Amino acid sequence: MSTQLSLLSDNSDEVDRKVLTVTELTRRIKESLERGFSTVRIEGEISNFKFHSSGHMYFSLKDSGAAISAVVWRSRVAALSFVPEDGMKVVATGRITVYEIRGSYQLDITSMRRVGEGELQAAFERLKKKLAAEGLFDAERKKPLPEYPDRIGIVTSETGAALQDVLHILRRRLPAIEVVLLPVKVQGVGAAVEIARAIADFNKYRNVDVVILARGGGSLEDLWAFNEEIVARAIYRSKIPIVSAVGHEIDYTIADFVADLRAPTPSAAAEIVVRDRFVLLETLRNYWYTMHESVENLVQQQKDRIEHFLKSYSFNKPVDLLRQHSQRVDELERSIHTAMRHKLSMHHARTESLRQQLKALNPDMVLRRGFAIVRKDGRVVDSRKVLKTSDEVAMTFHDGSVQSKIL
């Protein structure tokens, strides 16, 4: 059963017999409000902010006395120059619409800006103070730039003037340099996240020697992506040196303070990271001249040494040296011969002595002096005690053997 509502007449005690449904009443209110407030501009503070997975933004705008629901449809989110958050004061432009299902009205926002840059500056100073206290700006942690980089990484918008300025300088100064671009949004919702992700990607693949973070000039609000904490911490974590070239010379961002080097403009950043090829050629010429002089000096030194050697006594008196060495060889030869003859004489005398000793010990010579060798059963008899009467023995003389019998 549908809920119905009776309308009472203001000018009569009688009840108006026409009965409306809630839907009909809501639609009448919707038509009345939307015709009466086709475009409004409201100033208020954001609260209960929600960035839905659908891409739409839902929040309330409030002041000290009231609050109104607001919505930013996904198609308009990209046009915002900042990321809304609770507590932020804004001026929102849009129209009043009625959400029929709940019977509530809301502000359909078509554009929105922050209230004054004073608040942005205050937020800038708060974050700057916080990060400085954590040491993100310390000079000791800043990395030196490579003197001769082979590849340069650039994080910027692929359609921005900053990229063209950097590329123009790089081509003019060193056409052979290799450039790797990671295109990102440099303004609006999601820009800070893309910038931080690009820095992280360069560090993940480590395919460049230095990174230039570039953007053209603009207001504090335009440059705000480079004042986000997520970008500052991505720069701080980078192992690759980063040059911040955001805005003009008078513009300063949080990224400038955290980066290893700040360049006043994108063009200046390109001039800083790459030496002019003419300067490099002059440096090479100086190196060539220095090496040429060094080689010539070394050659002259060697020439002087050779000339000194040619004039030396040793080089000019080789025959005398040969004669001295020849004489020394003769002396050594005589010494060797003398020593050898002495040794041979000693060995000869020793040999003769041993020969006479062996001759004296020869059994045949003993037998010639009248001795004989007695054997019993093939064994030499060395004592008479082993012999008995009637034993047969063999007696060997120097000229033969005889058989005998013991009596």
pLDDT score of 12: 46
Q: Find out whether 149 and 210 touch, Cβ atoms under 8 Å.
A: yes
pLDDT score of 330: 83
> What pTM, to 2 d.p., does this model score?
0.48
Task: Measure Cα distances from 299 to 285, 288, 289, 307, 406 in Å.
Answer: 21, 16, 15, 12, 110
**Common-topology check for domains 4-115 and 149-274:** no
Dist. CA 127–CA 400, nearest whole Å: 134
Q: Is 22 left (phi over 0), alpha (psi -120 to 50) or beta?
A: alpha
Positions in the chain whose pLDDT score sits under 50: 1-15
Dist. CA 243–CA 272, nearest whole Å: 9
pLDDT score of 281: 67
Q: Find out whether 159 and 131 touch, Cβ atoms under 8 Å.
A: no
120-127 long-range Cβ contacts below 8 angstroms, 24+ apart: 120/220, 120/221, 120/224, 121/220, 123/227, 124/220, 124/227, 124/254, 127/227, 127/229, 127/232, 127/254
Question: Three-state DSSP class for 208?
Answer: coil
Dist. CA 67–CA 60, nearest whole Å: 6
Name the residue ranges covered by the structural domains of the chain: 4-115, 149-274, 317-359, 363-405
Phi, psi of 13 (to 5 degrees): -80, -10
Dist. CA 280–CA 268, nearest whole Å: 18
CATH number for the segment(s) 149-274: 3.40.50.960
Order of strands across the sheet that contains 261-262: 178-183, 151-156, 210-215, 242-246, 261-262
| CATH T-level fold of 4-115 | OB fold (Dihydrolipoamide Acetyltransferase, E2P) (2.40.50)
Q: Specify the DSSP class assigned to residue 385.
A: G
pLDDT score of 236: 96
Q: How many C-beta atoms lie closer than 10 Å to residue 209's C-beta?
A: 18
How does strand 151-156 pair with strand 178-183? parallel
Dist. CA 396–CA 399, nearest whole Å: 8
pLDDT tens for 104-139 read 889 999 998 877 655 677 788 899 999 999 999 999
β-partners of residue 380 are 375
Contacts of residue 113, defined as CB under 8 A and 6 or more positions apart, other chains included, come to: 81, 90, 91, 221
